[in-house]
Structure 1
Amino acid sequence: MHFSYWELKNWFTNVDFTIVGSGIVGLHSALALREKFPESKILVLEKGILPQGASTKNAGFACFGSLSEILDDLKSHSEEEVIQLIQKRWNGLQLLRKNLSDVAIDFKPFGGYELFLNDDESSYNECLQKLPFINDILKPIFRNDVFAKEVDRFDFKGIQEYLIFNPYEAQIDTGKMMHALLQKAVTNNIMILNQVEVTSFEEQKDSVEIALGDFSFKSKKLLFATNGFAGKLTDNQVKPARAQVLITEPISNLDIKGTFHLDKGYYYFRNIDDRILLGGGRNLDFEGETTTDLGQTDLIQNRLDTILKEVILPNTDYKIAHRWSGIMGLGSSKRPIVEQLSENVYCGVRLGGMGVAIGSLIGQELADLVK
């Protein structure tokens, strides 16, 4: 890289904070730092043209966990931990709405639904049986029942009689959200450089030397908000998890409205712009989907096609418009990692597939670590 005097002076000299990753966490962290240190020089580095991981690639669910997901989490986390996670997701969603406005993110409180395939009877029965218990433990957060049985009015096929409805779930437009966040960052004098990859960094006495290939510069503090790409930083406590997605062409008279979960949240779909967006299937090949490669596989895309045709739109003509994937950051615990790694290096990663819900909060927490 060969920079001019002006470029070096304006972008890479006297940098107070360098944030790696321009997604939900990175930009919220930058905005929180701007509030805390009004005169500071803040630089955000992004390796993609747009945020590379999941921030512009997710399905736009403003959710905190379906009933079966919560029951699943209770098998590997304590009741207290699960309640804390849900509280955090709920608080994070309110913070996102407050920071950007419901209009800017196209927030639509249509509610969320969970459906169960006919051959998923054991999970279905467990959810119906434990529904009152989960409502009970969530009362302190929501003051009301969260989950209720509802008859399917969407004409889905091959599913159990009842859906589980959650009125507190909503949908957003992921693209509008990130556009609003980027605009807010620029308005607050936060510099964002795209297609710049940090290749290494070295802690020094009162700064960090950051290498971008053959060029390096100094920053007083370095913050990583790279979620699914953070494995090396955190001794592999974060594993990448690819999520594959497809979307249809517009469908006339589409009557499906809401966010929908299937198979413990491994599949999810929603309406957007008269289309159906459907994603998931990671559970068909956990090993293969533990990757940072933004591709698709026939195994998972074929399964998505089958669910779309046989369950969601069995009596409808439609065409697939587009397919893509995003990278989440998961681990053995659903608790995010917000840590000071050394004197001047910090990270806010492992969002557990809940970036829309907790990204703003993790960004705030990451900035709060910096003294």
Structure 2
Amino acid sequence: MNLSYWELKEWFSNIDFTIVGSGIVGLNCALQLKKMHPKATIIILEKGMLPQGASTKNAGFACFGSLSEILDDLQSHTEEEVFQLVKKRWEGLQLLRATLGDKNIDFQPNKGFELFKEKEIFEECLQQKEAINQLLHPIFKDDVFTISENQFSFQKVVPKYIVNNFEGQIDTGKMAAKLLQKVQQKDIKIINSIAVESFVEKETTIHIKTNKLDFYTKKLFIATNGFANQFINENVQPARAQVLITKPIKNLHIKGTFHLDKGYFYFRNIDDRILFGGGRNLDFTTEQTSEFGQTSIIQNELEKMLQEIILPTIPFEIEHRWSGIMGLGSRNLSGQKKAIVKQVSNHVFCGVRLGGMGVAIGSLVGKELAELTKK
């Protein structure tokens, strides 16, 4: 790059902390680092024009797990591990709300609703409902899960929902914009459209090579979630999530966040539209990718479910489609749902593998990532 003396001096000299990734984790890491080290020079490197991955591409669910998802987690995790997963997600949501304010992220406590296409699975969940309520009672001090009638007139599903009384929704765009603004107000520099290609750790510094230039930093934080395996050797794999949204629907009566098929499908209302995503379970192999895009097998199923289950009597048109990249652990391995927040080497740290729960735990993971410098 044809950088001037001034540019090199102001943006790429005497760097204390460099964060790779300007998503929820990276931005919260920067805020906590600045709080701990007020005089530190901090830069955030972002390969995209806007935050890549999932931070600005998610569905905006302020959730911590549907009943069937929690029961599914108990197949590969202990009760204590599941309890801690939910506790961390809930604490992370409260930290997000406290950091940015409910109004700034358009937080709405409209509850979450789990729908079931198969009566047998519904009955299984119903049998375990009270046990899970008891397990989670120390966190919420009340029953998380209750039962409701099919108040939104969905078709081809069991005529009762399991309601998550503590679930809500946010405006993902507002959340990301407010977080970026808060970081920049702290004199933390965010550099977009720059991709880290490699780094070499030396005795007291790290030599970072990007597609634009090379520079040095004292500490490096990897906060790229689904793209992390480019930099570190940890159990985190990319997983694509495909999403579509309808054009505005007059007098839309659906309100809340909704889960189907153990959380593999999910939808919500937003701006008189239905946002609908998921379907990764239809083709796990293809969707284990860091490439953005859509596939016909998933998009066709999303449209079919919209027409047959969600909006069976209401005409709709699809206005837009997109995808995001999550960071997951290998399926069915013990502990694979827990985020990885650790010191990788002397001067390198990572906060990755958010497991599709970035809105819930991203703020907390970012804070914990920064706090690793205390050790």
TM-score range, shorter chain: over 0.9
* CA distance in 2: counterparts of 1:273 and 1:359, whole angstroms: 25
Displacement, 1:122? 2.5
Identify which range, 332-341 or 168-177, moves more after superposition: 332-341
1:124 is displaced (CA, Å) by 1.2
Q: Deviations over 1:178-223 (max 9, x none)?
A: 0000000000101000010000000011110100136210001000
Q: Structure 1 unaligned segments of length 5 or more: list them.
A: none
The 1-side partners of 2:111 and 2:198 are apart by 44
Output the amino acid matched with 1:126.
Answer: E
Cα distance in structure 2, aligned partners of 1:265 and 1:237: 22
Q: CA 1:243–1:162 in structure 2 vs 1: closer, same or farther (change >3 Å)?
A: same
Once the 2 structures are TM-superposed, how far is the Cα of residue 161 of structure 1 from its aligned partner? Answer: 1.8
Q: Deviations over 1:301-333 (max 9, x none)?
A: 000001100000000011101000000000030
Aligned residue number for residue 340 of structure 2: 337
1:199 & 1:235 partners in 2: Cα distance? Answer: 15
Find the residue that maps to 1:270 and give its secondary structure. strand
1:223 maps to 2:221: yes
Mapped to 2, the partners of 1:343 and 1:236 lie a distance apart of 16
Q: Kindly indicate whether the alpha-carbon contact (under 8 Å) linking 2:194 and 2:211 is maintained by their aligned counterparts in 1.
A: no
Distance 1:256 1:213 in 2: 46
Give the match for residue 366 of structure 1: 369
Contact 2:21 2:45 (8 Å CA) reproduced: yes
Rounded to whole Å, the distance in 2 between the matches of 1:126 and 1:360 is 34
Residue 235 of structure 1: how far off its partner (Å): 2.1
Matches of 2:70 and 2:341 in 1, distance apart?
Answer: 22
Aligned-partner Cα distance in 1 for 2:216–2:306: 51
Q: Deviation of residue 232 (structure 1)? A: 3.6
The within-5 A match list for 1:185-334 is 185-213=183-211, 215-332=213-330, 333-334=336-337
Q: How does 1:1-371 map to 2 (within 5 A)?
A: 1-117=1-117, 120-213=118-211, 215-332=213-330, 333-371=336-374
Question: For residues 213 and 82 of structure 1, what CA distance do their matches in structure 2 show?
Answer: 41
TM-score of the aligned structures, taking structure 1 as reference length: 0.98
What is the RMSD of the two structures over their aligned residues, measured on CA atoms?
0.8
Which ranges in structure 2 are unaligned for 5 or more consecutive residues?
A: 331-335
- For residues 253 and 64 of structure 2, the distance between their equivalents in structure 1, rounded to whole angstroms, comes to 24
Q: Take 2:306 and 2:57, find their aligned partners in 1: how far apart are those partners? A: 20
- Partner letter of residue 367 of structure 2? Q
CA distance in 1, matches of 2:18, 2:212: 18
Distance 1:226 1:24 in 2: 10
Q: Which TM-score applies when normalising by structure 2? A: 0.97
- Please say if residues 248 and 271 of structure 2, whose CA atoms lie closer than 8 Å, have aligned partners that are also in contact: yes
| In structure 2, distance between residues paired with 1:234 and 1:316 | 48
3-state SS of paired residue (1:370): helix
Whole-Å separation in 1 of the counterparts to 2:165 and 2:94? 15
Equivalent-residue separation in structure 2 for 1:92 and 1:245 (angstroms): 24
Number of residue equivalences: 369
Q: Counterparts of 1:116 and 1:244 in 2: how far apart (Å)?
A: 21
Query: Matched residues in 2 for 1:284 and 1:50: separation?
Result: 29
